[in-house]
């Protein structure tokens, strides 16, 4: 049955027909909004230069923002914290009165049904900006994998006790998911889910985030622990390992330059997959839209749909709030 019997344009004729046969759905309930919460500022909101529309929030502004997101049908937020002080170990991360713990309690008070996902990493809390503890190696300082596990798990337990529904380790240490799962369970936190940043690439697209979270490494880079973006097989191994260690959701990050990896991870794990549409992806689109080079709304919805089509169940995006408004 070739042309003229088969005409694919028949089902593209009207909006109703296109809706009827659309293969990929994008709705507010697929989206998670990252929030930056800071103990470093007096103002309720401070703009982030490279991320127009995204602010660093005080604790009470974060609770207010959470309410607005819930009203738009966004199911959850991903919390990043800027502590008042940093140190070598990153002790602000597991402080029970730390910024993410305070924000979690404030958000849960304001909207108990909104899911709080707490990012677990040390880079926002360490004076050197690396994601783990440093030790002297043969060729200078290195991030000590095994010594870091204890601190990450302590952070996750503290966040879970504060009320986080899910903890999301973004550090890329080996073995952290299994370590964290046992520590959570030992503390009776068996219902706290783990969203593992499984295939997190050493990426140039995190630039604006590092300004927002004040988390750029003071020396070197993160290539000795984050993945080489050229390695799809390794990405699948990371995800399968995290699954075996007890992850509830696996993540690929960034999203748009790695859609093939989102698909491979989905097919290999058959687990809920999250994709993180990161700060640089957001900044690119915002800059092009501000210059009048493309239509922000249409481009953002197309990109988010593409991430869903690639196999992401959950899309973490700075566009969540706006997209939820557009999708209404
Ligand atoms: C912390 C972390 C980073 C991001 C999320 N968690 C930055 C990094 O690894 O340097 C990036 C998110 C974004 O760019 O939006 N390890």
For a mutational test of ligand 1's pocket, the pick from 206, 220, 224, 319, i.e. the residue with the most ligand atoms closer than 8 A to its C-beta, is: 206
Looking at residue 214, its pLDDT comes to 87
Is the separation of the CB atoms in 271 and 308 below 8 Å?
no
* 108 annotated active-site: no
**Residue 123, ligand 1, Cβ within 6 A:** yes
Q: Which of 86, 253, 286, 321 is catalytic?
A: 253
Q: Rounded to whole angstroms, what are the CA distances from 82 to 44, 142, 169, 263, 270?
A: 14, 24, 16, 33, 35
- pLDDT tens-place string over residues 17-56: 999 999 999 999 999 999 999 998 889 999 999 999 999 9
Looking at residue 147, its pLDDT comes to 97
Angle between helices 320-327 and 59-71 (to 10 degrees): 20
CA angle at residue 239 from 234 to 241, to 5 degrees? 90
Q: How many CA atoms lie within 13 A of 55 on its CB side?
A: 13
For a mutational test of ligand 1's pocket, the pick from 51, 122, 215, i.e. the residue with the most ligand atoms closer than 8 A to its C-beta, is: 215
DSSP state of 28: G
For a mutational test of ligand 1's pocket, the pick from 77, 171, 213, i.e. the residue with the most ligand atoms closer than 8 A to its C-beta, is: 213
Residues 6+ apart with CB under 8 A from 74: 28, 29, 31, 32, 33, 114, 320, 321, 324
CA angle at residue 134 from 129 to 136, to 5 degrees? 135
**Residue 79, ligand 1, Cβ within 6 A:** no
Q: Indicate yes or no: pTM above 0.85.
A: yes
Q: Which of 86, 108, 200, 266 is catalytic?
A: 200
Token pair for 56:
């660093």
**Atom of ligand 1 minimally distant from the CA of 282:** 15
- Give the DSSP H or E segment for 120: strand 115-120
Looking at residue 68, its pLDDT comes to 98
From the CA of 153, how far away is ligand 1's center (Å)?
18
Looking at residue 41, its pLDDT comes to 87
DSSP state of 160: H
> Cα 222 vs. chain centroid, distance in angstroms?
17
Domains of the chain: 25-327 (3.20.20.70)
Is the separation of the CB atoms in 56 and 36 below 8 Å?
yes
Low-confidence ranges of the chain (pLDDT < 50): none
**Atom of ligand 1 minimally distant from the CA of 124:** 1
**Atom of ligand 1 minimally distant from the CA of 278:** 15
- Give the DSSP H or E segment for 104: helix 99-110
Looking at residue 163, its pLDDT comes to 98
From the CA of 280, how far away is ligand 1's center (Å)?
10
């Amino acid at each position: 049955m070739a042309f003229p019997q088969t005409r694919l344009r028949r089902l593209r004729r009207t909006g109703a027909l296109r809706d009827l046969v659309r293969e990929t759905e994008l709705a507010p309930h697929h989206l998670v909004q990252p929030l930056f919460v800071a103990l470093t500022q007096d103002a309720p909101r401070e703009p982030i230069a490279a991320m127009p529309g995204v602010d660093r929030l005080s604790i009470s502004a974060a609770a207010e923002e959470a309410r607005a997101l819930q009203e738009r049908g966004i199911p959850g937020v991903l919390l990043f914290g800027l502590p008042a002080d940093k140190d070598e170990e990153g002790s602000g991360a597991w402080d029970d009165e730390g910024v993410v713990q305070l924000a979690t309690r404030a958000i849960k008070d304001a909207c108990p049904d909104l899911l709080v996902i707490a990012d677990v990493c040390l880079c926002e809390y360490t004076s050197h900006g690396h994601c783990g503890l440093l030790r002297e190696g043969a060729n200078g300082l290195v991030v000590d994998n095994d010594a870091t596990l204890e601190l990450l798990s302590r952070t996750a337990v503290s966040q879970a006790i504060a009320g986080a529904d899910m903890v999301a380790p973004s550090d890329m240490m080996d073995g952290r998911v299994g370590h964290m799962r046992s520590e959570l369970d030992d503390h009776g936190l068996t219902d706290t889910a783990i969203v593992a940043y499984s295939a997190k690439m050493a990426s140039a697209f995190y630039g604006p985030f590092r300004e927002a979270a004040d988390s750029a490494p003071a020396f070197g880079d993160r290539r000795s622990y984050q993945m080489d973006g050229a390695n799809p097989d390794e990405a699948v191994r990371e995800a399968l390992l995290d699954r075996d260690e007890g992850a509830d959701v696996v993540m690929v990050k960034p999203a748009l330059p790695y859609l093939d990896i989102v698909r491979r991870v989905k097919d290999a794990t058959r687990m809920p997959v999250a994709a993180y549409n990161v700060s640089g992806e957001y900044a690119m689109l915002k800059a092009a839209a501000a210059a009048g080079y493309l239509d922000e709304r249409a481009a953002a919805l197309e990109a988010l749909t593409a991430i869903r089509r690639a196999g992401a169940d959950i899309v973490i995006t700075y566009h969540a709030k706006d997209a939820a408004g557009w999708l209404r």
